[in-house]
Amino acid sequence: MATDLSKSSKKRGFSVRFEKIASLITKMTGSSTAFLISLGIIVIWAVTGPIFHFSDTWQLVINTGTTIITFLMVFVIQQSQNKDSLAIQLKLNELIAAEERASNRLVNVEDLTQDELETLKKFYIKLSELAEKENDLFSSHSVDEADKVHREKATYYQKRRVPEKNHNKWKRS
């Protein structure tokens, strides 16, 4: 059991170190300085082409270098994207949980299939159309209560509307 615990803590230790390194590398390689350094390397490589008579080795150097860097960067960038995606999901989950009329079913929406997401998208398009018909920028609906809330709001706002004096439009009081 003690070996299982030490293996687990070693794995977590590596993960924490990798996460920190990936975050640092992502920040560094996403800078304008990194772009200029990369551009400089390519210019130097291109300028040295005639010196090395555009040999196979000369081409192999840039191809190998870019392939290795690209291969490693895929994992580094994916780690950073996974972390950012999880942070965004948690923030959105907090907003959903804080809003009493929001559907808590959407907390795990990232686990739905593509078809289920498309169905939800169609539903939200319908909600958008309902809000547009109401001509009210502040209308909101949840997945579970859309029709009910829509009817309640329509009744509520209909009672609050009074005709303006000089126009045929309706105005909220």
Q: What is the pLDDT along the chain (173 residues), one digit of tens a residue?
A: 555 555 656 667 888 899 899 989 999 999 999 999 999 999 999 999 999 999 999 999 999 999 999 999 999 999 999 999 989 988 988 888 888 777 777 778 888 899 988 988 888 888 777 777 777 656 565 655 566 666 676 677 677 665 544 444 444 44
Token pair of 70, please? 């690209």
Nearest to 152 by CA among 163, 139, 161: 139
The predicted pLDDT at position 128 comes to 79
Query: CB under 8 Å to 34, separation ≥6 — which residues?
Result: 28
CA-based nearest residue to 69, from 33, 50, 49, 41: 41
pLDDT of residue 55: 95
- Please report the pLDDT score of residue 170 as a whole number: 46
Residue 164: per-residue pLDDT:
47
Look at residue 143 in the predicted model and tell me its pLDDT: 57
